[in-house]
Structure formats: C-alpha cells, structure tokens
C-alpha cells in the first residue's frame, strides 16, 4: 500500500489512557480486555503462530459459497470476532485461490472506521480461518428490506452514503478499487455505522487502469458493460446506484433480464419516484455519469444534500439529549 500507518505499541502503564473515553459503566470490562491483549503472547510479536485452538467457536452467523462464518471468542482475552472458515477443497474446485489470497492481502492492510477490519488469518490442512471485526447488526441489505416500504429515509441514506464514500476515498488513496459495492457487502455495527466488507473483487493497482469485468449486474458501470478499460471511478458509479437503492429500495437499472439491464446502463436511463428529493437526485445524477464526468468522493462528502441531512441528524441528537 502507498500510505503506511504506524501502529503505536502500548504498555501496561497506558491502560488508563486507553479507557479514559469509555463510559464509566463499561470501563471495568474494557480494561480487562485491553489488559488481556497487552499481556497476550501475540501482542507486538510477529512470530506468534495463531491456530484454531486460540478460539472458541460459537453461533453460526452466515453461510457462503466456500465456507461459513461464526461468532468466535479468543480464549485468553475474551475478545469477540467473526471467524470466517473457508474450505480449501472448495476454493480449489471453484478456482478462486488467487482471488482469496488477494482479498486477504488487501483487506488486512486497510484500517479505516468504516472498513471491516481483518485482524488475522491462519490455516491448517483443510481450512483457512479469517478473524474479522464483528459487525453485530449484520448485512445492511437485511435492514434495508425491513425498513418501511423497503427503503431508508433521507437522513439514514445520506449518513450511510457519506460513510461509504469516506471508506472508498481511503481505499483509492491506497490504490485499491473495491469493484463490488452493494448493500449485501456492507455491514452494520451496533451503534448504526457502516462497515465496508467483502473485498473479493477488489484490486490493488498503481496504474489505476483495469479491464476485468466483475461485480454485480445491476451495479455495473457503462465502461464495463462496453468492455472498455476503466479506473477507480467505477466505485463512484456504484455509489450512485447504492444511494438510489437506499432511497428507492431497488437499483435504478433493474430489469426482467440482463440484456434490458445492460441497455438501461448504456443509456444511463434513470427514473426517480416523486418522493426522491431534488437534492438526492442531484447527487445521484452527478455520480451516474459517463466515465470521466463523475464527481469525486470528496465532493460527495461535502454535497449539499449530504451536509443538510447530517445537520438534521445532529439537531435530532441534541434534541433527544
């Protein structure tokens, strides 16, 4: 990665400073976790060899094509993670070994508040174990479908759009293109914040030019549909589709068959329901543009519609207090 972050090494005498901003009722529990981490043999020790015996597996959280995800607890610190377990035989059968290794390499280096952390990974003869940050509320897609009318209100949509834009901006600064943005690849934390996940189709590229067609049909940008080379602004296009789906409940180019979807994407044929406000339409329309004309992710984060709804949410928070 181009931007390397220094990791501070804490000592036991730093315990009080580590929990000073933690609510008083949680300080004892958080102090115990930090103490366990600082005393663990693996802390600041790159030669420590992790194994499945370091963890206790709990409730299943989900099932994918190549493996399962469980809630897991590290035995000494009691720290909770989401443990993704992949079966090597299934990876070989699906010919995705290189894709998985690329995903591990990229995600393990990304450290951002709105990107799901990959803490560590290890393997045995049959399986690969990936210890991931636990996002307790699960897939955002489930929350979208459970919302009134199957869509988010403007404040919630604007908040999530801002957080995804911030995460993607960080990725791009580190020469990473995500390439598979959609509600199913976003997770939600217990305090209602986004975690960008699933870097299976992501690419780390210094040239910023790619040709591989990948991602999800309804989110493909015109340059991919037309088999042209593309750059990291494919993520801006996907963000526009995502924002639309947040507000409407379905992606803008969804059709009965793939050929009709491709045709709509080529024409950038977008129809807005009456309830979508002018501010939201303005942002989405500036993202769903031909390659080279899309606004930057920084411009997304300071767009008037985003700023207006962030202010409303802040005002609501202070009113509630």
The binding site for ATP consists of: 65, 84, 133-135, 184-185, 198
Residue of 180, 218, 232, 235 marked active site: 180
- DSSP lists the bridge partners of residue 72 as 57, 81
Q: Residue 264: which residues within 8 A CB-CB, separation 6 or more?
A: 252, 253, 255
Active-site annotation holds for 180 = yes
φ/ψ of residue 181, rounded to 5: -75, 135
Task: Please tell me whether residue 228 adopts helix, strand or coil conformation.
Answer: coil
Q: Taking the CA of residue 20 as centre, how many other CA atoms within 13 Å lie in the half-sphere pointing to its CB?
A: 5
φ/ψ of residue 118, rounded to 5: -105, 105
Q: Produce one character per residue of 10-38: b if its CB has 16 or more CB atoms within 10 Å, e if not.
A: eeeeeeeebbeeeeeeeeeeeeebbebbb
Sheet of 194-196, strand order: 138-139, 186-188, 194-196
State the CB neighbour count (10 A cutoff) for residue 184.
15
Cα–Cα distance measured from residue 38 to residue 90, given in angstroms and rounded to the nearest whole number? 37
Runs of H (alpha helix) within the chain: 15-18, 27-39, 88-93, 97-109, 140-146, 154-173, 222-225, 234-248, 258-267, 278-287, 297-301, 304-320
Kindly list the catalytic residues: 180
């Amino acid at each position: 990665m181009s931007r390397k972050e220094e990791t501070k090494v804490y000592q036991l005498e730093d315990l009080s400073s580590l929990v000073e901003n933690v609510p008083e009722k949680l300080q004892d529990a958080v102090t115990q976790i930090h103490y366990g981490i600082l005393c663990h043999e693996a802390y600041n020790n790159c030669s420590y060899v992790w194994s499945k015996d370091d963890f206790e597996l709990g409730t299943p959280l989900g099932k994918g094509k190549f493996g399962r995800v469980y809630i897991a607890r590290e035995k000494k610190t009691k720290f909770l993670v989401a443990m993704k377990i992949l079966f090597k035989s299934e990876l070989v059968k699906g010919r995705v070994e290189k894709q998985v290794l690329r995903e591990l390499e990229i995600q393990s280096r990304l450290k951002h508040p709105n990107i799901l952390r990959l803490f560590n990974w290890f393997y045995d003869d049959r399986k690969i174990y990936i210890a991931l940050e636990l996002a307790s509320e699960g897939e955002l897609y489930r929350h979208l479908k459970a919302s009134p009318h199957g869509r988010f209100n403007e404040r919630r949509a604007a908040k999530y759009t801002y957080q995804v834009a911030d995460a993607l901006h960080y990725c791009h600064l580190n020469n990473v293109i995500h390439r598979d943005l959609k509600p199913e690849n976003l997770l939600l934390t217990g305090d209602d914040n986004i975690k960008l996940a699933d870097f299976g189709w992501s690419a780390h590229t210094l040239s910023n030019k790619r040709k591989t067609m990948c991602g999800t049909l309804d989110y493909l940008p015109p340059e991919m549909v037309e088999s042209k080379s593309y750059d990291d602004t494919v993520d801006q296009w996907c963000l526009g589709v995502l924002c639309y789906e947040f507000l409407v409940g379905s992606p803008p180019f969804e059709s009965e068959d793939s050929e009709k979807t491709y045709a709509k994407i080529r024409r950038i044929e977008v129809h807005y329901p009456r309830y979508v406000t002018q501010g939201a339409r303005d942002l989405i329309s500036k993202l769903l543009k031909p390659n080279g004309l899309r606004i930057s992710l920084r411009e997304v984060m300071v767009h008037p519609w985003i700023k207006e709804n962030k202010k409303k949410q802040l005002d609501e928070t202070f009113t509630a207090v």
